[in-house]
A and B are shown apart, each in its own frame.
Chain A
Amino acid sequence: MSEQKTHVSQETMDGNIATINFGPTHPSTHGIFQNILKVDGEKIISSEQTVGYIHRAFEKLAERRPYNQITPLTDRLNYCSSPINNMGWEMTVEKLIGVEIPKRVQYMRVIIMELARIADHLICNSVVGVDAGALTSFFYPFTEREKIYELYEEICGARLTTNIGRIGGFERDFTPTFHEKLKSFLKTFPVAFEEFNSMLARNRIFMDRTIGAGPISAERAMAYSFSGPNLRATGVDYDVRVMSPYSSYEDFDFTIPVGVNGDTYDRFMVRQEEIRQSLRIIEQAYKNLPEGDYKADLPDFYLPPKADVYNNMEALIYHFKIIMGETNIPAGEVYHAVEGGNGELGYYLISDGGRSPYRLQFRRPCFIYYQAYPEMIKGMPISDAVLTLSSINVIAGELDA
């Protein structure tokens, strides 16, 4: 009767399958992802994803910048736990140079990285609560995250995108205020965390919503190259800190929590337990913090203190050489992985001896495990798809780089 064309497929005409657009702007897509879902009533038959809505060309940008200017770039990968990204990069360059890092620096790094891991898991878990409808459990952990932000600020001055540490160590030692704040954090955080935990972990409604939502088996997860809490929730205890220890992680005693089914509830509980294990690590590292220098002796990369630059000829020359990019950077290729908030965060660096890397590729865990999302939500109602998306903790910055 009308001349206009209607874009309706035969299956929709048959009355059963509808196509729904989930994203890219949707309250529960944390970051910008688009999923086109084919649903039969509420049950999802298949889905197709589009990513790349926040592609910022990190890898090309890294080919332009000198080595210590890439640290602020790595911040913006997984911005919820940016110190881990920063230190992973610094360790990669230190591996390329082949320098020995003092024990004190390694312990300091462990403390900061575990704080970042706590911050990341707190966001993920509180947001799973929000998507299940529990807004109170969002506000409580955020006041604790403010305390972690204050700890970062003591060292580097920034809250979120920290650019913390330098190639070779830290920019300054832990200040006395940092020691006080860390001590009070270690006293008050466990209490506040158990309060947050009590709101959700054995909550009848939360358990009914999340148990069985978005499961994946261990074999499928390994085939998809999962890593991190998502893989551990399926029962596989792969942790880069244990498999390929870096920065003195072998000195600390901690367990790797694993789940059973790989569903949303298991991922939530694995992250909660990892927060407790991270607290254990921080306590051990802080109690045994060795004396020593807060930086390695690395004149080719670590800028000399400004007072020396103005008074000492050698420091002035090194300052000039570092900024102008005339220091000797070895050529070679190196791959270094750290356990990020979401899994194995790897840096594949090819250096040709020049001022900037020749090729820097980030092995981003979010990008790799998001591929499995359609398989995880197949046959689930849409509300479970929403919960699954927030529980696998996809961070847009890391996914699209």
Chain B
Amino acid sequence: MEKPTNQDYLAALQAQFGAAILQHEEPYGMLTIEISADQMHAVIAWLKNDPTLSVNYLTNIAGVHYPDNAGREFAVVYQLHSWRNNVRLRLKSYLSKAQLQLPSITDLFDGANWMERETFDFFGIEFTGHPDLRRILNMDDMDYFPMRKEYVLEDATREDKDDRYFGRNTH
């Protein structure tokens, strides 16, 4: 039988979850769907358990910060892969700064554990239901989330390097 294509995935998701599918596009051949944050866990669970679609592999979880989008400042991007059909999916959820929570998918994929911790460490996005949500790569006593756009790359507390000589703005 024919393997499902991107269009079949989109149609099946729209049939099942209608209202939760907000936007979709296909940049560079990868189906990218925006899903509302509270339904994300249900969508991924349904995709994983469905026998035709069989999305069995979690490739990546990434966070992105868009400081200029009011109400949609943070995005969490899940990249999934179905080996049987060789289809990759990208599912996105936008969160606002006031409501920075998303259900964790560690009960579906064990590999999501550290991926979510990394997203929390860099952006401050809380994954509810995560067994052990704490910083992973940065120092434990760090009090800010470094990948957010308002923070500068260099150590903000250093006094030995004069930024003028490095061609950087001196704030």
Contact = CB atoms under 8 A, between A and B. Distances in A.
Are A and B interaction partners?
yes
Interface of A: 51-52, 55, 57, 59-61, 63-64, 95-96, 220, 222-226, 238, 243-244, 332-335, 337, 344, 346, 348, 350, 358-359, 361, 363, 367-368, 370-372, 400-401
B113 A367 contact: no
Contacts of A367: 114, 118
Interface string B118-148: 1000100000000000011111000000110
A358 B118 CA distance: 18
Contact of A333 (B32, B109, B147): B32
A332 B28 contact: yes
A52 B136 contact: yes
B111 A223 contact: yes
B43 interface: no
A242 B122 CA distance: 33
A74 to B, nearest CB: 16
Contacts of A346: 59-60, 79
Closest CB pairs A-B (n = 10): A225-B111, A52-B137, A361-B62, A55-B137, A363-B60, A223-B110, A224-B111, A371-B114, A334-B28, A359-B64
B111 A52 contact: no
Contacts of A348: 60, 62, 77, 79
A195 B35 CA distance: 55
A155 B124 CA distance: 43
B27 interface: yes
Interface of B: 27-28, 30, 32, 56-60, 62, 64-65, 77, 79, 83, 86, 88, 90, 109-111, 113-115, 118, 122, 135-139, 146-147, 153
Contacts of A64: 153
B59 A333 contact: no
B83 A361 contact: no
B64 A335 contact: no
A60 B58 contact: no
A371 B62 contact: no
Given A223-B109, A223-B110, A346-B60, A60 B147 contact: yes
A61 B58 CA distance: 26
A131 B27 CA distance: 46
A55 B57 contact: no
Nearest to B139: A52
A368 B64 CA distance: 19
Contacts of B122: 59
15 contacts: A57-B153, A60-B146, A60-B147, A61-B153, A63-B153, A222-B57, A224-B111, A333-B28, A333-B90, A346-B79, A348-B60, A363-B59, A368-B114, A400-B137, A401-B137
A334 B79 CA distance: 11
Contacts of B137: 51-52, 55, 400-401
Contacts of B79: 335, 346, 348, 363
B131 to A, nearest CB: 12
A196 B110 CA distance: 37
Nearest to B112: A225
A361 B147 CA distance: 11
B136 A243 contact: no
Contacts of B138: 52, 55
B116 to A, nearest CB: 11
Contacts of B60: 335, 346, 348, 361, 363
Nearest to B92: A333
B59 A225 contact: yes
Nearest to B64: A359
A261 B116 CA distance: 29
A350 B64 contact: yes
Given A57-B146, A222-B56, A371-B114, A359 B86 contact: no
B86 A59 contact: no
A167 B28 CA distance: 18
